[in-house]
Amino acid sequence: MLQVQDLAACRGEATLFSGISFSLSRGTALVVSGPNGSGKTTLLRVLAGLTDAMQGTIAWRGAALHGFDPALRAQALFIGHLPALKDELTAEENLASLTSLHGAQSGPAALADALSVWALSRQRALPARVLSQGQRRRLGLARLRLVTRALWLLDEPATALDDTGEAYLNQLIEVKCISIQRNPDRRRAGCRGANGRGEQSRTEHRPLTARRKPRVRCLDRARAKNQDAK
């Protein structure tokens, strides 16, 4: 579905990463890990077409993409590390606004359901400015139930979530991966680095820990950055 070849990006005159290549088939999850400043967010923004790459190619379902491509825009959902909420709007109004930005129209029942599963029913009519950081994160992620996209690009989605919220996020990702596989494989998958050995993902944030990780791959930006420096 998604093919990336020899991707590189910079910030000013500094190269954040280079030589990034991978391909993702249906039902595959890719975890990008690494220290602050290693280019994780930039990589996701490049994939979403929000930031230009310095070099390299990105193809979606066999077709090369160029910048903010309508073909990928219609199939991808990017959620950044900031919830993108409007403080003066209520939780329900924010959710309705976020889903409409992605071309989805959700009625009151669907909005209420999405808020309920994220334990935000009591906050439905409250302005976003009074919500805690964890509640704001939940609200930003609630659109995952309402917007149908083939590709999710999630930047630090578990930040500020409690254990219950993180468990539900893991469940959503697991179901997403399994539901779009041609031949579902529910066996636990390990992360494999460039050297081909199974290894633990490294990140400064709590990693996703779903019980089943259908075809999970790991891109370790810490190692890639060290290789770039050689």
What confidence score (pLDDT) does residue 125 get? 98
Strand bridging mode 63-64 / 55-60: antiparallel
CATH architecture of 1-70+183-230: 3-Layer(aba) Sandwich (3.40)
The answer to whether 194 and 223 have CB atoms below 8 angstroms apart is yes
Place 5 in a pLDDT band, splitting at 50, 70 and 90: very high
Residue extents of the structural domains in the chain: 1-70+183-230
Question: What is the tens place of the pLDDT at every residue in 134-168?
Answer: 999 999 999 999 999 999 999 999 999 999 999 99
- Across 35-164, the runs of DSSP E, i.e. the strands, are 55-60, 63-64, 76-79, 151-154
The answer to whether 221 and 194 have CB atoms below 8 angstroms apart is no
Q: Which amino acid is at 192?
A: R
Nearest CA to 177 out of 209, 207, 216 is that of: 216
Residue 29's alpha-carbon distances to 2, 109, 225, 227, 228, in angstroms, are: 11, 30, 21, 24, 24
Bigger pLDDT: 12 vs 130: 130
Question: What is the tens place of the pLDDT at every residue in 27-38?
Answer: 888 888 888 888
Its pTM stands at 0.78
